[in-house]
């Protein structure tokens, strides 16, 4: 009986097709670095650093740090925030503080009397901007916020947080355009519903008046 062929340990695989001398990859890397360094003297796109603060590198559209509040129109009277407090409840480190503004009878004015964010605690997560149902709060790209005032200097109130819709459009054009288009569509829908309601009420009134007139004529004829 023929005995099975003895098993042997797998031998090392043959060198791959791209096999090369040790150190070649390092030399290639250094060549790329050298080309970048030389070209950086005459090609702007090869520069990986800028002369800050005289120059500032453009920030990525996705860069974010602290939130800001948006207002429509020219001033803070157009703040979209309704002081619903959803962002305050959802903020993980609880660094948002909101007080609802009320009239003398205690009725809600649907706007914040106080809206503070302690940016020394804010962790830049963006959850406030995600949960806001009124398109009122977005993440800013402003990063030069250093201050020697550890407390007051880093506690931003609604005046400090307020930004115009133009600012939003410049900072994040795609996001701002999408929000503006959606808000416009919602406003048009709301106006159309109001117009339909007014037309329906008018029709019902006319029918009622007509019916009353007919009944009156019937009564007179009898």
Q: Does residue 123 bind ligand SF4 (CB under 6 A)?
A: yes
Using CB under 6 A, which of 68, 96, 116, 162 touches ligand SF4?
96
Exactly one of 40, 76, 97, 126 binds ligand SF4 (CB under 6 A); which one?
A: 126
Give the nearer residue to ligand SF4 in terms of CB position, either 53 or 133. 133
How many residues bind ligand SF4 (CB under 6 A)? The answer is 26
Residue 97 — φ and ψ, nearest 5°? -130, 120
Burial of 106 by CB count in 10 Å (0-12 exposed, 13-18 middle, 19+ buried)? exposed
The answer, yes or no, to whether the previous bond of 53 is cis (omega within 30 of 0) is yes
**Residue among 40 and 164 whose Cβ is closer to ligand SF4:** 164
DSSP of 17-84, one letter per residue?
TT---TTHHHHHHHHHHHHHHHHTTT-GGG-----TTTS-PPPPTT---SEEEEESSSSGGGB-----
Distance in Å, CB of 167 to ligand SF4, minimum: 16
| Element holding 113 (H helix, E strand) | strand 108-118
Interaction between residue 165 and ligand SF4 (CB under 6 A): no
| Residue carrying structure tokens 């520069």 | 47
* Residue 16 in tokens: 């791959």
Contact segment (CB under 6 A) with ligand SF4 among 44-52, 119-127, 164-172, 189-197 equals: 119-127
Contact pick of 84, 155, 169, 180 for ligand SF4 (by CB under 6 A): 84
Shortest distance, position 148 Cβ to ligand SF4, whole Å: 22
The answer to the question of residue 98 lying near ligand SF4 (CB under 6 A) is: yes
Q: Answer yes or no whether residue 141 interacts with ligand SF4 by CB under 6 A.
A: no
Interaction residues for ligand SF4, span 33-72 (CB under 6 A): 67
Instruction: Kindly report the number of other CB atoms within 10 A of residue 122's CB atom.
Output: 19
């Amino acid at each position: 009986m023929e005995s099975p062929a003895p098993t042997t340990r797998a031998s090392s695989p043959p060198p791959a097709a791209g096999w090369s001398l040790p150190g070649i990859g390092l030399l290639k890397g250094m060549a790329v670095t050298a080309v970048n360094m030389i070209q950086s003297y005459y090609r702007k796109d090869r520069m990986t650093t800028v002369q800050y603060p005289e120059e500032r590198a453009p920030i990525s559209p996705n860069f974010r740090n602290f939130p800001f509040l948006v207002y429509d129109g020219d001033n803070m009277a157009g703040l979209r925030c309704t002081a619903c407090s959803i962002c305050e409840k959802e903020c993980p480190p609880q660094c948002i503080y909101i007080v609802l503004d009320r009239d003398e009878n205690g009725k809600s004015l649907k706007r914040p009397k106080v809206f503070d964010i302690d940016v020394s605690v804010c962790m830049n997560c963006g959850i406030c901007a995600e949960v806001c149902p009124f398109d009122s709060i977005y993440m800013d790209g402003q990063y030069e916020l250093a201050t020697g005032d550890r407390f007051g200097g880093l506690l931003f109130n609604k005046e400090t947080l307020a930004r115009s819709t133009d600012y939003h459009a410049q900072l994040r054009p795609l996001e701002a355009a999408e929000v503006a288009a959606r808000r416009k569509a919602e406003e048009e829908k709301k106006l159309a519903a109001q117009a339909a309601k007014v037309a329906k009420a008018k029709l019902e009134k006319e029918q009622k008046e007509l019916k009353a007139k007919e009944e009156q004529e019937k009564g007179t004829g009898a």
